[in-house]
């Protein structure tokens, strides 16, 4: 594959597809310097090419955590200035401290493109990171569930949460922004229904439909949780349960980190749940996974929709 990409670039050095594919390959190998050069060409040449935009953001984040924070910040600032209507560029400029205002959620195009790219080796990557969120949510729910239940796995990904939910399920549905993730989830054969789409819109189309909704490692792509919590409340039946994680922040509110994801403070989570009408059953701090050799702290939350 590398030879094909390089041959294409001999004929057209600005070719966005070849630059993106070669850059992604080099980034996977850890050749960040050359990956950056190719991904920059791809992202700057083609603002509408979501995969290239996503990969360029990823290499800027990688450079930032590998001792090149100023380079990453300067490049993100230049990218956003060059493409002022590009939501992905603006998001990364904000995340990397390049002066852009943080949005209240990660752009849908960025989430979809990133997870479409991860789908095939997603499970293996998470295993290497010591990913524990499905187990944490299942343990938090165990004292409260009364099967059989109609369950929604929100932001289902490849279906890792479903392995824990299936024994409790009368029916199990899944929704995810990434069509490629949905295809991987289908292969597990655990879901009665799987749909690719935006979560809040899905919830609003399914009022009073579920006894349990889980969102494992999903709300870190949202800053403001008001819409998703109120929509989940409407989608649950009386005494229905919602269980989710957020990346933990020591601040009171929510904040955008250089990873491009959001972290939420306990005070903010409690206030948002109260505003949505939920009753809190449990809230505990734990470790979701490792990232760059460091533990990522999370809050594991279970709540009930009082009738």
Per-residue pLDDT averaged across 93-103, rounded? 93
Q: Is the pLDDT of residue 245 over 90?
A: yes
Q: Which residues of 89-107 are buried (b: 16+ CB within 10 A; e: fewer)?
A: bbbbbbbbbbebebbebbb
Q: Within a domain: residue 279?
A: yes
The answer to whether the CB of 20 falls within 8 A of the CB of 52 is yes
CB atoms within 10 A of CB 11: 8
Q: Within a domain: residue 238?
A: yes
Of the candidates 123, 57, 46, the residue with the CA atom closest to the CA atom of residue 88:
57
Examine the domain organization and report whether 35 and 138 are in the same domain.
Answer: no
pLDDT digits (tens, 9 = 90+) for 190-211: 999 999 999 999 999 999 999 9
Q: Within a domain: residue 26?
A: yes
The pLDDT of residue 252: 85
Domain assignment of residue 11, given as a range: 2-101
HSE-CB for 21 with a 13 A CA cutoff: 13
Instruction: Kindly calculate the radius of gyration of the chain based on its CA atoms and give it in whole angstroms.
Output: 20
Q: Within a domain: residue 106?
A: no
State the SS3 of 254-278. Answer: EEECCCCCEEEEHHHHHHHHHHHCC
- The CATH number for 258's domain is 3.40.50.150
User: What is d(CA 45, CA 33) in angstroms, rounded to the nearest whole number?
Assistant: 19
Q: Within a domain: residue 116?
A: no
Per-residue pLDDT averaged across 52-72, rounded? 97
Examine the domain organization and report whether 160 and 263 are in the same domain.
Answer: yes
pTM greater than the 0.85 cutoff: yes
**How far is CA 170 from its chain centroid?**
27
Examine the domain organization and report whether 53 and 127 are in the same domain.
Answer: no
Examine the domain organization and report whether 21 and 127 are in the same domain.
Answer: no
- The CATH number for 81's domain is 1.25.40.10
Q: Within a domain: residue 256?
A: yes
Q: Within a domain: residue 114?
A: no
């Amino acid at each position: 594959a590398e030879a094909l990409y390089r041959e294409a670039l001999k004929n057209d050095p600005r070719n966005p597809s070849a630059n993106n594919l070669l850059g992604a390959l080099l980034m996977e190998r850890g050749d960040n310097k050359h990956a950056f050069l190719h991904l920059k060409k791809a992202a700057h040449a083609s603002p509408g090419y979501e995969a290239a935009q996503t990969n360029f953001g990823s290499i800027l984040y990688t450079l930032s955590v590998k001792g090149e924070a100023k380079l990453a910040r300067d490049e993100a600032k230049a990218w956003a200035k060059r493409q002022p209507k590009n939501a992905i560029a603006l998001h990364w400029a904000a995340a990397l401290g390049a002066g852009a205002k943080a949005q209240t959620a990660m752009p849908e195009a960025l989430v979809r493109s990133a997870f479409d790219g991860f789908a095939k080796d997603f499970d293996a990557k998470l295993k290497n990171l010591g990913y524990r969120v499905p187990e944490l949510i299942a343990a938090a729910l165990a004292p409260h569930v009364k099967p059989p239940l109609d369950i929604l796995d929100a932001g289902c990904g490849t279906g890792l949460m479903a392995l824990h939910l299936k024994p409790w399920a009368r029916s199990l549905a899944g929704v995810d922004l990434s069509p490629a993730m949905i295809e991987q989830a289908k292969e597990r054969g655990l879901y009665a229904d799987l749909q690719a789409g935006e979560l809040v819109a899905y919830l609003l189309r399914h009022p009073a439909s579920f006894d349990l909704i889980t969102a494992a490692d999903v709300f870190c792509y949202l800053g403001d949780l008001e819409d998703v919590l109120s929509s989940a409340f409407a989608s649950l039946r009386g005494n229905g349960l919602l269980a989710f994680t957020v990346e933990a922040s020591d601040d009171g509110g929510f904040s955008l980190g250089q990873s491009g994801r959001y972290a939420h403070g306990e005070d903010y989570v409690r206030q948002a749940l109260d505003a949505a009408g939920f009753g809190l059953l449990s809230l505990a701090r734990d470790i979701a996974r490792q990232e760059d050799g460091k533990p990522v702290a999370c809050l594991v939350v279970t709540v009930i929709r009082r009738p």
